[in-house]
Structure formats: structure tokens, C-alpha cells
Amino acid sequence: MILPEKIYLELIAKALVGEISEADRQTLREWTEASPENQAIREEIEAIWNQAESWTPRPGISIDAAWDEFRRRADLPAPVAHNPRPMRFIRMLLRAAAAIAVLACVLWWILPGSGAEAWQVAEARDRHEQVSLPDGSEIWLRKGAALSYPRNFAASSREVQLLRGEAYFEVAPRPEQPFVVRTSRKGERVEVLGTSFQVSASEKNTLVLVRTGRVRFSAPGMSQAIELTTGDRVAVPRDHPQAALRTRVENFNELAWRLGAIEFQQTPLQQALATLSDYFEIELRLDNPALAQCPCSMRMNTPGLARALDNLKEIYGLTATPLDTDKGYLLSGGACPK
Amino acid sequence: MYLCAVQHRPPNIYAQEREDRELTEALKRGDESAMQRIFYRHYPDLSAAAGRIFTDQDTRNELAQEVLCDLWQKRERLDIRGSLSAYLRRAVINRALNKIKAEKRFIAESDAPEPSEWPEKERERIAEQEGLEQRLHTAMEALPEKCRTVFVLSRFERLSHKEIAEQLGISVKTIENQITKALKMLRTALRNHAPLWIPPLLLILANQNIGERPFAFVYQIVI
């Protein structure tokens, strides 16, 4: 498959930042796999992209001189530290605001909806699907997910409902008309204060992971709504909402299906394989348990399965044999690198 | 065949964030030494972020100074959601964007288009660089200004194409073209680098603690 340079460069760039449509991603994959030359070009461009990270223009003056300049501007020494009473007051106000937000949530659920028209359902059956909303927001449904949304939003807020599965939201900013994601669990909602995040809903639990911006998450059983920002993740089991677990993620591998970026930093190999299994939707079974805790450090962008396996083979000396079930590989042999 | 290791340091992000949070708390109380620690820690990064867009040294340092002065002035009213470094980084990029808009660098799309091939002088200057990294950095700094700015906003500041388009007042298609152009020119700049450069298959982060700081190796296989 031949593509002019301008085209394949554009596709590779889009894939690297995760702004590639599903159709383009297919085209890119076809082009990449069409010949080893294309594969090499792709890797060359990705290497340039990665290597660019090291470009750090120097200030050109010493940091001490810069600090002296700062002192001059800031007119230090500064006045004596104030007592933090003003901050405490502000914190009290915020707590009150959060309580009002929760109350509003409950009322909203109880009161009949106002003005939203007929709801339609978008479903991602055997591939990821993208839904574009009239306000400019984009929603990516992972394979197997389903979302219902109105043809026209109500005046007071933009509401959609995630029926099942994982969905990644990029919300157009519109403070006067907040964006709200509901799940099928009554009273559970994610209110968007910022831009991109993922919600996933299954029978067992609800998960929210924020990529950029801020969301406010509320659910029945929680005493107050919580605000989540970049890197925050909260998992709420359906049966035991009190056991909700809030963590900070070390990477956004859970969003790899959408963003393409997979990163491991000293991750135990077993865990890395679990992430890759989820991404490729196949089983990657580690034969030798001694390798389970081997540290794995890797960064890939929209990898094909072949490339990911090659990387693992190269680093650990593994061999991959297809499993009987035909839905995965057994990775055997190998050793932890020194 | 030998392995040539090029050092590349990613910071340990989450430990740093924890310390930043403590420093911010101290800063809110007017603690000068906290401000100094914050300054020493973040100034280089802020200057670098601005410096990718503004190659002029005075400009990049000025922007970094302004952001940190502003932080100091607002110290009692600070309410930072997320990390301090992200907050400061956003602030310096916003100032950079305002400066671009004020100087009307991008307004007229009908301006004479910037070159999409390297002019002779730049080509020579780049070829003079021996190391791969040096060559890449020289090339990045030599990219046409509009092209480099768009590339930097996407690659380093992770703005979406839509956001860049909005900020600069140009179309998304132009953004995509500029990024493509940047990659094409960078690729050309590195093409004739000797010895034959087989790009690394992936960026391998190998954590080997020297002292207490983790760092990474990029392995290049050179034949």
C-alpha cells in the first residue's frame, strides 16, 4: 500500500497524540503492516517524536542570577506571614457549596426532567465508536459500550447516560450548561468541570478516571460529592458504595484503547501483561512464574500486537506460542534483564 | 554492532508533586524560603517551556519571571487544583500565547507561507552537529516560527488540535499541516546523519538507581 509522505506523516502524527479517527487508524495500520519499509518509517517518525522530549532550551543565565532578579521584582523581604483564617473560611464555603451540589443532584433526580427530547442509544458493537454531540463534545465508546443521549439537550444541563461499558469523554466547555454523565445506577453522576475523562459502568462497579480537567462525582451512599482531577481515579462497587476506592494513577494505560499510549515504569511484568491483554483483547500468559515480578519499562504508541510481542521477546528473551484456545499466547522461557 | 546509550532523565513525578504540595502550603503562609525552593525547582522548566516557542533568551526568561512573581503576589489567595508544576506550566504557556496574539504573529494566514524545505544556511548548520540529539535540537530551533510553535503546543504542551486552532485563530487543517511539515523537516534534517541511524524500536526506560535518581537509557543500535 502506497501513501504520499504528507498523508502518512499526518496519520502518524494524529495517532501519536490520540486524535486519530477510527477510519484513519485502520488506514494507518494497513499502511504500516504493508511492508517492512513502512514499518521502519513509522518507527523512525515515532523515534523522532520521542527523542524530541529531550529538547530543553537553557535559560542562558544562572539560576542564582535569576533568583536575584526575582527578589528585586518581588521586593523581598516580604511582609510577615498572615494567619490563615481567610483560607479556612474559603474552605468552609467550598464545603457548603459541595453540599448544595449534592442536594441539587438528588432534587434533580426526583424532579421530572425538563424539555429534553427523545433519547437515542449509541452502541459500540464490534469496534470502538465515536459519537459527536451537537455541542461539539466527543464521546468514544469502547467496544461493547452503550450510551443514551438526547437529540437536543435540555436548557439547564447537557445530560447523557452511560448504559454499560467504557466511554471516554471530551467535553466542550460551556459553564452555563454543565455536562453530566449518569450511569444506570440511580443517583450516580459525573459532572464535568473540565475536559477529558473516562467513565466505565458494569454490573459490579462504576469507575471514573480523569485525563485532563476536573469532574465532580456523586453517588448515593457518599456523604458529599468529590472532585477529581488529572490522574484521579475512583472505583465504586455497586453493592458496597462505602468501599469506594480513590487512587491516583501512575499512567493512563486504562485509556490506551482511546489514546493509544501505553507506558510502564518498573511495572511488574505480570501486571504489564495484564494491561496488554486488556488492550489487545487476547490472553498473554506468562509460563515462568519467576518472571512475574520482573520490572518492565516500556513506552509504546498505538502498537500492533506483533510489535508489542517483539519488544517483549527482545527484552526478556521470551518465546511466544499460540494458545490452544487460539485467543492468546503463552510466553515461555526468558529471564529478567540485568 | 554496539549499543550506544544516550542519557535521558524523566523526573520522578509523584514524589515531586508531594513536596510541591507541602511547599505550596508553606508559601501560602508567606514563607520566603518556600518561595525560593519553588523558584529554584520550577524556573528552569518554565524558561525551557517558553524557550521552545520563543528562541530569544530574554523573552523566555521574562515570561518565567512573570509567572513566578505572580505566584508570589497571589500567595495568600492560592487555590491550586492539581499539581503546582502543571499550574505554573499552564500559566507560562498562557502568557506565551497572549504574547503571540498581541504581536499578531499568526493572524494573517494569507502571509507569505513559511518555507517547507530547509534553506541552505540552516541545512549546513544542522549538518555541522555531530550528535543525534544536538542535530535534532538545532533542527527544532531552526524550524520556521509558526511551524515550530504549533508543533511545540501539540508535542510538549499537549494541547489538542482544536485548542491550538482556537488559541491561535487558525484552522484545524492548518494545524495538522504545520505538524506534518515539522515532522517532514525534522526527518530530512536527520536523514543523512552518519553513522546509519536505525531508530530505537521503543523508548526503554531502565531504572538504575545512581544515588537516588532514576534515569533512562535510550538504546540505539548502531551498525
Q: How far apart are CA A286 and CA B193, in angstroms?
A: 40
Mean pLDDT value across residues A195-222 = 82
Amino acid in position A338: K
Reported as a single tens digit per residue, the pLDDT across B13-68 is 556 777 888 899 999 998 999 999 999 999 999 999 999 999 999 999 999 999 99
User: Is it the case that residue A183 has pLDDT exceeding 70?
Assistant: yes
| Angle formed by the axes of helices B132-142 and B120-128, nearest 10° | 160
Residue with cell 452555563: A176
Reported as a single tens digit per residue, the pLDDT across B88-110 is 999 999 999 999 988 877 655 55
What pTM was computed for the model? 0.51
Mean confidence (pLDDT) of chain B: 77
Residue with cell 443532584: A105
Q: How far apart are CA A233 and CA A260, in angstroms?
A: 19
B150 contacts in chain A (CB < 8 Å): none
Would strands A328-333 and A283-286 be described as parallel, antiparallel, or unpaired? parallel
| CA-based nearest residue in chain B for residue A193 | B81
Q: How far apart are CA A226 and CA A239, in angstroms?
A: 19
B201 contacts in chain A (CB < 8 Å): 43, 307, 310-311, 314
Residues 6+ away with beta carbon under 8 Å from A309: A320, A329
How far, rounded to the nearest angstrom, does the alpha carbon of residue B181 sit from its chain's CA centroid? 18
Query: Where would I find the H helices in B54-158?
Result: 57-73, 84-102, 120-128, 132-142, 145-155
Compute CA distances B59 → A65, A171, B2, B63, B90, whole Å. 16, 34, 42, 6, 17
Closest Cβ opposite residue A55 in set B30, B69, B137: B137
Are residues A55 and B205, on separate chains, in Cβ contact within 8 Å?
Answer: no
Query: Could you tell me the pLDDT band of residue A95, with boundaries at 50, 70 and 90?
Result: low
Are residues A87 and B39, on separate chains, in Cβ contact within 8 Å?
Answer: no
Reported as a single tens digit per residue, the pLDDT across B157-199 is 888 899 999 999 889 999 999 999 999 999 998 886 643 333 3
Closest Cβ opposite residue A77 in set B32, B141, B160: B32
Beta bridge partners of A196: A170, A212
Which triple of cell numbers denotes residue A324?
A: 490452544
Query: Could you tell me the pLDDT band of residue A113, with boundaries at 50, 70 and 90?
Result: very low
Q: Output b/e per residue, B111-134; b: 16+ Cβ within 10 A.
A: eeeeebebeeebbebbeebeebbe
Which of A117-121, A136-140, A145-149, B116-120 is the least confident region? A117-121
User: Is it the case that residue A126 has pLDDT exceeding 80?
Assistant: no
Query: Could you tell me the pLDDT band of residue A40, with boundaries at 50, 70 and 90?
Result: confident
Are residues A58 and B55, on separate chains, in Cβ contact within 8 Å?
Answer: no
Interface test with B, best of A24, A55, A95, A169 (most B CBs within 10 A): A55
Mean pLDDT value across residues B74-78 = 91
Burial of B43 (0-12, 13-18, 19+ CB in 10 A): buried
Mean pLDDT value across residues A24-49 = 88
Residues 6+ away with beta carbon under 8 Å from A147: A121, A122, A123, A131, A139, A141, A160, A161, A162, A163, A167
Mean pLDDT value across residues A1-8 = 90
Are residues A43 and B199, on separate chains, in Cβ contact within 8 Å?
Answer: yes
Interface test with A, best of B176, B180, B186, B215 (most A CBs within 10 A): B180
Query: Could you tell me the pLDDT band of residue B220, with boundaries at 50, 70 and 90?
Result: very low
User: Is it the case that residue B214 has pLDDT exceeding 50?
Assistant: no
Looking at residue B207, what is its pLDDT? 25
Sign of dihedral through CA atoms A50, A296, A259, A176?
negative
Are residues A59 and B137, on separate chains, in Cβ contact within 8 Å?
Answer: no
Reported as a single tens digit per residue, the pLDDT across A236-274 is 887 776 677 888 888 888 888 888 788 888 889 999 999
Q: How far apart are CA A61 and CA A98, in angstroms?
A: 46
Are residues B160 and A67, on separate chains, in Cβ contact within 8 Å?
Answer: no
Q: How far apart are CA A126 and CA A129, in angstroms?
A: 9
Would strands A129-132 and A138-141 be described as parallel, antiparallel, or unpaired? antiparallel
Q: How far apart are CA B188 and CA B116, in angstroms?
A: 11
Q: How far apart are CA B184 and CA A9, in angstroms?
A: 7
**Tally of CB atoms within 10 A around B216:** 20
